[in-house]
Every structure is written in C-alpha cells, then in structure tokens.
Structure 1
C-alpha cells in the first residue's frame, strides 16, 4: 500500500517529527541524513499497520518519543517503547513549532489529526478526494460526519491538508479546496452523510 510519510523540522531548534512512518525504512533514514536531523518525535494518526509499520525500528535506532491518542491506544491495545498518550486539543511543542491534536474518530476510534499554523496532517480521516472507510473495527460513519464537521469549524480555510494517501490529487490542497471539491465536505445532515458513505457497491471506496 502506498503511504505518505511527513517529516516536520523546526527551523530554529532542528527538532524533528515524523508522521505515520511506514514501509521504506532505507529511504526515510536517507532523508533524515540528507536533512541532518533525527526523529525526536513520532506522531501517529492511528494504529493501522500501514501507518505504524516502522515505529519499532525508528524507536530502537533513534530513541524517539511516540505519540498516539489515548483512545486509540486503549481500544486497539497499541504498544510501543517510549509511548505517550495524547488527548483532544492537547498541544505538542517541537522547538518553536506548536502542534494541536484534534481527535477525529470515524476511521478508527481514536484517529488524530495534527494541526500546525498552515498545515493539517489527517492520516485516514480525510483525503483530498474523500474520507476514510468506516467499516473496520472501531469505525463509525456517524463519528466520521462529526469529525469532518469539526474540521470545517476549527481549521482555517487557508490551511493545507496532508493525508496519509491520495487518489489523484497531490497532497497540500487547502481546506477551501476541499470545501468545494470533496463531496464529504458537502453534507450538512448526518443521515445523508451516513447513507452515502455506507452505500453498497462503491467502485471508488475512498473518494466518491
């Protein structure tokens, strides 16, 4: 499965975080070396294997601190060395870079988005083209609706969205763009959202 991993480097301190590290360890290590940094923090949007695959290797090599929502840890019994729970609206400081944790259940019980001043890292909650599936253990289309409504309310329209996967559009589209082009941002009634998200025989499960 193709995933996006994101590296955040605080310019003043050079402290570094990586979001949802998975699959290509060699490429990630080379990128750290090229940047002259190491991952002080590992930020996890949720516990699915394609988002946490490289956590043990990075923790062993760099002694990184690992962060995931308390709800996700408790429900799915996620384990890692150096693991710390996060709570809704908790702030993490990476040097001078402040990140706010937004609890956005729907894809999983404890999915998190990480909000910076002009970036939102969404994991599998929302994609540029759609939103995450709600059929796996702990998934809920009702909660997904509420999470998207919350993002619409709390995240400024200029903020750029960086999802865990893309299905045609490059990462980094703005909330403004999603409001116009992501069909799941168009629903204002939960019942209609749920019926559409859970309809049968979807040819493009993640984004139409």
Structure 2
C-alpha cells in the first residue's frame, strides 16, 4: 500500500504530495507547488528514493522547482500536451509504476488543457480540476468550460465513491474528502445538466 505525506504552502495555500512505498522506498512528488528543499529533506530523512516528479498542470504556482528538477536530472512527468520539456509525456489512462503499485493517469482538461488527475489506490490527486466543495476556474487562458464539465461528470463522478479527493489548494472547509461526500456538498457536482453547470460555473 502506498503511503502519503502532505505539504501545504506555495503561492496560494497549495498542496503538494509525496507518495511512497515504504517497502521498496520508491517515492514520487505530485503537484510541484512547494520548495524542493522541503520535499527532498523529507525524502532523505525517510531513506526514500525519488523516482519521478509529476506535474499536474502548467500554471506557474504548480511549477515550483521545475527548473531545479530539470537541472538535477530528476525525471519529470506531465501530460503529453504540456509544452515545456519533460522526461516522459503521459497519456490518458496510462498506468505508471511506483513500487509495487500502479498510478493511473486521467486527462482532465477544463481549468487548462494539460490538467491531469492521478488515481493511486483509493487516492485521487485532482490539482485544480476539483477542489473540496468547488472546482477549477474556467475563465482563464487555456480553459474550456465544456471540457471541465466532461472531466467532472463523465470521468471523475464515474469513479468509486470511497476514493479520497486530494486537491491542489486548501480552499474548502476541510482539506480532503471522499467523492461520496463531495457529491453531497459540492455545488459544482450537482448540476442537473450541462447548461446548468455552465451557468453556475461562469456565474451567468
């Protein structure tokens, strides 16, 4: 089973995560929004091996340390539509190994075209696609409200209800929640149809 260490900081109450296998000691940094020194100190102090860093989308507050990781030859993964240089470009529904577990890549555009979520056992890392009791903005450059609707309603809401949502920012009344809880409390997951979602998300 994969274990998780959560960090909070960055530019806007960002969350960053270290996911690791305590048997193999393999580790991954997910959502690069925190000073690399803090993350690497945790990895060193726990005798972990950093296998790769996963960028969940290309907004500046989620690229903290990108140049550092690149200059130090630490493998960087991102979606295939990510425009900067990375070690590996990921495809929708691709599975990558971490220790004895598999991480599933879900392409979830909407907030921006290169957004991905990571499904790891019962954990879903959603970055700025889905927050606790909210979802990502769709009025920024690279955003698409129809894509956001599809990402939420055709993909995330089809996942098992017991998965735990780990978002990219601490914007909710609690940091994490199950998908079942979010179906009950997240206004943006309760739209009756696509048109209703468009109106509520864009405040029309």
Matched residue count: 192
Q: Does 1:87 align with 2:91?
A: yes
* Deviation of 1:28 (Å): 1.9
Which structure 1 segments of 5+ residues have no match? 201-208
Distance, in Å, in 1 between the alignment partners of 2:145 and 2:114 is: 14
> What is the CA distance between 1:179 and its match in structure 2?
0.4
* Structure 1 stretches of at least 4 aligned residues deviating more than 3 Å after TM superposition: none
Structure with greater helix share of residues: 1
Alpha-carbon deviations, 1:74-93, whole Å to 9, x = none?
xxx2224xx21111100011
1:128, 1:169 within 8 Å by CA — same for their partners in 2?
Answer: yes
Cα deviation, 1:35-58, whole Å, max 9, x if unaligned, reads: 222421111111111111212213
Is there any run of 5+ residues in structure 2 with no aligned partner, and where? 1-10
Q: Determine the structure 1 residue equivalent to 2:64.
A: 53
- Is the contact made by 1:129 and 1:166 (CA closer than 8 Å) also made in structure 2? no
Matches within 5 A, 1:49-198: 49-61=60-72, 63-71=73-81, 73=82, 77-80=83-86, 83-149=87-153, 150-153=155-158, 155-198=159-202
CA distance in 2, matches of 1:180, 1:166: 19
Measured after TM superposition, the shift of residue 17 of structure 1 is 0.3
SS at match of 2:118: strand
Name the one with the larger strand percent. 2
The CA distance in 2 between the partners of 1:33 and 1:169, in whole Å, is 32
Counterpart of 1:99 in 2: which secondary structure?
A: strand
